[in-house]
Amino acid sequence: MITGLQAFFLVNALITLFAAVKVVSSRKLVHAALWLVLALMGVAATFAMLGSRFFSVIQVFVYIGAIATLIIVAVMLTRNSMEDVGPQVNRGWWLPLVVVVLLFVGLVVVLSGWGDFGLSTRTVGAEGENVMELGKALVDPNGFVLPFEIASALLLGAMVAAIYLATDRKEGKR
Amino acid sequence: MSFWIDPINFVIAWLKGLLESWGLQPGLVTFVMYLIGAFVTTLLAMLLVVFLIWLERKLIGRVQDRLGPNRLGPWGIFQTFADMLKIFTKEHITPDGADGVAYNLAPVISVGAVLMVWAVIPFTATVVGVDFNAGVLYLMAVGALGEMGVILAGWGSNNKYAMLAAFRAVAQLISYEVPMVLALMIPVMFTGSMSLQALVKEQDIWFIFLAPVAALIFFISSIAEVGRTPFDLVESESELVSGFNIEYSGLKFGMFYVADFLHAFTISLLFAALYLGGWRGPGAEQYPMLGFVYFALKTAVVYFIGILMRASLPRFRIDQMMDLNWKYLTPLALVLVAATAVAGKIVPAEMAGLRLVVMLALNGIIFAAADRLMTRRRSARRQVAQAPRPVAHYVQPAPTDPGD
Amino acid sequence: MLDDWLYLGIFTVISLFLPAAAITIAALLSPKKPDPLKTSIYECGMETVGETWIQFKPQYYVYALVYLVFDVETIFLYPWAVAYNQVGLFAVVEALLFIAILLGGLLYAWRKGALEWA
């Protein structure tokens, strides 16, 4: 007998996987982006089931609010590729399928050796995850302060690169 | 528990007792209670819109020296009901070549995203949907869904105006989220929690006094998020005809209208909760209903200011709107977060009076400095603008030789 | 604690269901008389020329990119803001460094003219 939570997990996982498959198989690019939004929502719901409010909300905020929007904008800006005609798969489609199935089986075999494999649920904590502890760890010199600062430098690099790529250099220096 | 002290919880407890007396399982009772709670909240929010539309038409009418609706019922209060009945029976016209999924999903998402905010708002000391410990980020996440609605509507309508509006939505709604998130960070810093109920409870001194500039930034950027005048570039009548909702008719158009009014009211609710102390006031702890009244009054004041802004300011041009965000509000918010963090550590929270003075002074200095810089930039630009320059770059095509 | 999610889930479903139901009822009530002129694309009375999904300025994309970077950076700052009352001045200095780098990125975008609506 499965509990309500498990049933919900299964349904949610199926929806997420279906959406993920539709992302790559939709012929209209914007529809693919919309399916991506649904898939990301499913991931957010998975975070929610693990009891992690912070990450579930961030999943929606960053991935749907920013990244999916960015993808939709990129799709809207590309002309003449709104619809994909032509076949969806090429002749070697069975090879990746075999590889993926093997990979999945391998992962299950490896993970089943892990002690907590049979655990039905594990929530992050009694009160959900502790954002305060996370914040402390991020700025703790013995914790993650270096990754914290490097993350900001990395994002600066991303911004510089994005602007370099996106600005029209044909106009010459401003 | 007496009815008069906390009627909402009284009703909730009564309903719960009733359901349990029917012999339902505890889990099912919770489920049914949640279902009823969510349904009542969303339904009340939707019905409130009827009143809001009337109020706004009346107020805007007064500002413009008109009477506003005045025929149906006292002060024309039934006008909106008549409009509602009319729009309910209007034909739904789907434009040629519209993208079915996106076109029909957009109005639903627009309204839904606004309604979802109501799940975390603390209405009184005891009545709150979810006391969600990532509440502030939840607000932003749900706001992102609302943007998705506008983008879908613009893209799905197969109309160039709507498409242009979708792009403007991307530029505007997304950009203004940055200063909004940063402005919300300051109350979170003071409180040490992201739950809205905790934020309200922390406000022994309203945050508008501890962080007035952050409150201003939040107010401006949330009006931009709603997309109302002076930020109504997404649906500007004079250039995009109606923008993203141009091809919508019947109740599908009505839903965008509902979303607009409800969103405007919801940001007033949020402003009142985050910066004006929410339900707090004398006696609100003992008599939760009193807190509800305070909350409603504060919200009404903010909403009124929003309507006055709408009635009195002209629309921004798109470059002005983007400049205001990226070159003014965002750097200002960043500097403000940094300065508040330092000042808050130097003057600890125990010295509440001194802290208030320091914060007020700090905000005043930062605002004055930002204003000064802004004025200088503006005058520099004005000097540039005075020089004559071509309106458009039109290049005469070279005459082609017919012999080629 | 999962009860919270149950409420949020129910609330999400209902807040999407309510407008959808209203539109469905209205669609059933309203007349359906499509004609080619009525369903044609509105463009102030002109016939539309070409397809709708024409190419717009890539400028919009730059804003979306800059927004994405800021979005991720603020997410890093939020846990720090929650822990603010519990950490020392040193942690504040670290966050200041973080914000300074963020501000540096903004200034770079500004200087490069990426924020200019040209």
- CB contact under 8 Å between A128 and C90, yes or no, is no
Chain B nearest-CA residue for C26: B88
Interface confidence (ipTM) of the complex:
0.86
Arithmetic mean of pLDDT over chain C: 79
Q: How far is CA C20 from the centre of its chain?
A: 22
Is residue C42 less than 8 Å (CB to CB) from chain B? yes
CB contact under 8 A, C62 and A166: yes
Q: Please give the Cα distance from A144 to A156 (Å, whole number).
A: 19
Using a 10 angstrom Cβ sphere, with 0-12 exposed, 13-18 middle and 19 or more buried, the burial of residue C9 is middle
Annotated domain spans of chain B? 9-89, 94-377
Number of domains in chain C: 1
CA C67 to CA B171: how far, in whole Å? 9
Asked if residue C116 is part of any domain, the answer here is no
- Higher pLDDT: B288 or B269? It is B269
* Lowest-confidence region among B72-76, B232-236, B331-335, C50-54: C50-54
> Tell me, what's the pLDDT at A172?
47
The amino acid present at B97, given as its one-letter code, is G
CB C68 within 8 A of CB A70: yes
Residue B322 token pair: 């983007």
Residue B333: name the closest of A67, C102, C59 by CA. Answer: C102
Q: Residue B122, SS3?
A: strand
Q: What percent of chain B has pLDDT over 90?
A: 2
| Predicted confidence band of residue B389 (pLDDT cuts 50, 70, 90) | low
What's the rounded Cα separation, in Å, for the pair C37 and C34?
8
Chain-chain contact of C23 with B130 (C-beta, under 8 angstroms): no
Judged by a CB distance cut-off of 8 A, whether residue B164 touches chain C is yes
Please indicate, yes or no, if residue C97 is contained in any of the structural domains. Answer: yes
Q: Quote the tokens at residue B64.
A: 């413009």
CA atoms within 13 A on the CB side of B194: 29
Residues C15-42: what's their mean pLDDT? 82
Q: Is B211 at the interface with chain A, CB within 8 A?
A: no
C59, part of any domain: yes
Distances (CA, A) of B238 to A60, B248, B315: 35, 18, 10
pLDDT the model gives residue A53: 77
More confident residue, A170 or C52: C52
At residue A174, the pLDDT reads 40
Taking residues B219-225, what's their average pLDDT?
89
Closest A-chain CA to C8? A48
Position C96 in a domain: yes
With 0-12 / 13-18 / 19 or more C-beta atoms within 10 angstroms meaning exposed / middle / buried, residue C103 is middle
If you write DSSP's letter for every residue of B129-196 in order, what string do you get? S---TTHHHHHHHHHHHHHHHHHHHHHHT--HHHHHHHHHHHHHHHHTHHHHHHHHHHHHHHHT---H
Give the pLDDT mean for B252-263: 87
Contacts of A121 (CB under 8 A, 6+ apart): A5, A49, A50
Mean pLDDT of chain B: 82
pLDDT of residue A102: 93
A34 inside 8 A of chain B by CB = yes
pLDDT attached to residue B219: 92
CA A41 vs. chain centroid, Å, equals 9
- Binding partners of C (≥3 Cβ pairs within 8 A): A, B
pLDDT grade for B393, boundaries at 50, 70 and 90: low
* pLDDT band at B401; cut points 50, 70, 90: low
Tell which C residues from 64 to 103 touch B, by Cβ distance under 8 Å. 64, 66-67, 70-71, 74, 77-78, 81-86, 88-89, 92, 95-96, 99-100, 102-103
Q: Is C81 a domain residue?
A: yes
For residues B341-370, give the mean pLDDT: 81
Hey, what's the torsion of the CAs at C108, C113, C117, C118, to 10 degrees?
A: -170
Q: Does B137 touch chain C (CB under 8 A)?
A: yes
| Higher local confidence (pLDDT), B86 or A29 | B86
Q: Which residues contact A122 (CB under 8 A, 6 or more apart)?
A: A50, A116
Task: Find, among A59, A41, C38, the residue nearest to B109 by Cα.
Answer: A41
- Domain made up of A1-84+121-128: CATH architecture: Up-down Bundle (1.20)
Instruction: Please count the other Cβ atoms lying within 10 Å of the Cβ belonging to residue B128.
Output: 19
Which residues of A fall within a CB distance of 8 Å from B151?
A: 69, 72
- Amino acid residing at B188: V
Write out residues in chain A with pLDDT < 50, as ranges: 172-174
Q: Which of the four pLDDT bands, split at 50, 70 and 90, describes residue B163?
A: confident
List the CATH number of the domain containing C37: 1.20.58.1610
Quick one: what percent of chain B has pLDDT higher than 70? 92
Cross-chain Cβ contact A70/C68 below 8 Å: yes
pLDDT at residue A101, rounded to an integer: 92
Amino acid letter for position A147? P
CB contact under 8 A, B185 and C78: yes
Percent of chain C exceeding pLDDT 90 equals 0
Q: Is the pLDDT of residue B3 over 70?
A: no
pTM: 0.86
Interchain proximity B112–C43, CB inside 8 Å: no
Mean pLDDT confidence for B50-66: 88
Amino acid at B129: G
Bond preceding residue B230 cis, omega within 30 of 0: yes
